[in-house]
Amino acid sequence: MWENIFTAIDEQYEHMVKTRRYLHQYPEISFHETETAKFIQQTYDRLGIPYESNVGGNGVLATLKGGRPGKKIALRADFDALPIHEENNVEYRSKVDGVMHACGHDGHTASLLGLAESLVPFQEDLPGTLVFLHQHAEEFAPGGARPIIESGALDDVDAVFGTHLWVNTPTGIIQTSKGAFMAGADRFHIKVKGKGGHGAIPHQTKDAIVIASQLVTSLQQIVSRRLNPLDTAVLTVGTFESGDAFNVIADSAELSGTVRTFDSSVQDLIIEEMEKVIKGACISAGADYDFEYLKGYTPVINHAEEAELILDEASKADASLSTEEVDPVMAGEDFAYYLEQKPGAYYFTGAQLPDHYFPHHHPKFDFDEKALPHAAKTLLQAYRSYQEKHQV
C-alpha cells in the first residue's frame, strides 16, 4: 500500500505545482488569510474530507480517519504571506502589491493538500487518523499556533509533525535535530528622548542620534561580553530612525530589533542587561528613554524519538532523499508551541534552486518545486513510522 501511496504523491506533482502557483499569485498577510482559508476548505469539500474552519482564527483542520486502529497524528502546514513586494519576473508572480509568499508557505499548503488527495483512495487501509492542520499567521507573533491549541482542536492528538521548505539546503536533503532546532524569537523597541536644537550649537542639546548610535554598539557587547561564551544568542538592531534635516540635531531616535535565544535564563539575562545599557547611556547624556521588549515564539525543541524517525526513515519515502542531523538555526517558528504540548518533530525539506538563490523573506525568494512531493512524502513517512512504532 505505502509504495502505491508514494506513487500517487508523485502523480500529484503537477497539481501541487498548480496549487502552489495559484496561492503564490494571491497571497494574504498574517491574520487576514480569509480567501486562502476558503481555498483550502473548497479543496477538502471536493475531496469529501470533513474539516473544521475558523479554528483559532483562520485555521482549517481536516480529519481523515483510517479504517484500521492506530494513533491520531497531526501534520501541519502554514499558509500566510509577508508584507514584501515581489521582484521575481515569473508567470506566477504575486498579483497583490506589497504582499508575497517569500517563505514557502504556499508550497507547504500545496504539499499538504496534495498529500490529502493522494490518501483518499487508501483511506480504509490507513491506520489511525490524520489531521491536516492548516495554520494561519505563522509570520507575525502572537501567531496562529497558540489560539489553535487553545481551541482544544489538538487535545486528542498523539503526535505532531511539520516541515519547512528550506532554500538554504539543496533539494533532496532532509535536515533536523534531536533537540533544539530553531530559536526563540523576540523583538524590542527603544526610543531615546533627548533635546533637539541647531546643528551648529550642539552644547545646548542632548543629541538623540549620538546616544542611539552608542546604544547600537553597546548592545552588541551584551552577547560578546556579558553572556557565557558557551551560551547561544543573537541581538540584532534592525532599524534606526531619527532626524528631519541635515542641520538639526534630533530630539529623538528610535531603534528596533530582535533577540534570539534557546534558553529562558539567557533570555532573562539579555533583557536585564539591555535595560542597564540603555538606562546607563541615557542617564550619562541627560536623556530619557522608553524600552519595550516583546517576548515572541519560544524555541523549537524537537522530541528525540520523533526526530529520530525523520532522520532514520525519511529515505523510505523516496530513495533519492538523504538526511542530516544539523545544528540549530536562529530563525524562529511558532511550531514550538505544538511541541510543548505534544510529542513530535519539525524538519527542513531542502528546496534550493541552484541558479536562483535568494534567502527566505527576500523579494526575489523562490524555491525548487521538485521539493513539493518530498515534503508530502516525508510527512506521510513520519505518520507511517509513528504508527508502526506505536501499534495499538
Chunked mean pLDDT (size 10), the chain, 392 residues? 97 98 98 98 98 98 98 98 98 98 98 98 98 97 97 97 98 98 98 98 98 98 96 97 97 98 97 98 98 97 98 96 97 98 98 96 98 98 97 77
**Active-site residue among 33, 138, 306, 313?**
138
For 238, residues 6+ apart whose C-beta sits below 8 A from its C-beta are 256, 257, 258
CATH 3.30.70.360 occupies which residues in the chain?
A: 184-297
- Structure letter (DSSP) for residue 236: E
> Is 138 among the catalytic positions?
yes
Question: Could you give the residue range(s) of every CATH 3.40.630.10 domain in the chain?
Answer: 2-182+299-389
Q: CATH for 2-182+299-389?
A: 3.40.630.10
Question: Do residues 382 and 161 touch, judged by C-beta distance below 8 A?
Answer: yes
Q: Which amino acid is at 133?
A: L
Q: Which CATH class is domain 184-297?
A: alpha beta
Residue with cell 506566477: 92
Q: What is the pLDDT of residue 315?
A: 95
The reply to whether 312 belongs to the active site is no
Cα separation, 83 vs 229, whole angstroms: 36
pLDDT for the residue 392: 66
150's grid cell: 487553545
Residue tagged active-site, from 80, 139, 158, 251: 80
What residues contact 146, with CB distance under 8 A and at least 6 apart?
Answer: 56, 334, 337
The pairing of beta strand 59-65 with beta strand 51-55: antiparallel
The H or E element spanning position 46 is: helix 34-47
Supply the pLDDT for residue 182: 98
CA-nearest of 13, 135, 118 to 77 is 135
378: how many CB neighbours lie within 10 A of its CB? 26
Which residues are CB-neighbours of 22 under 8 A, at least 6 positions away? 39, 92
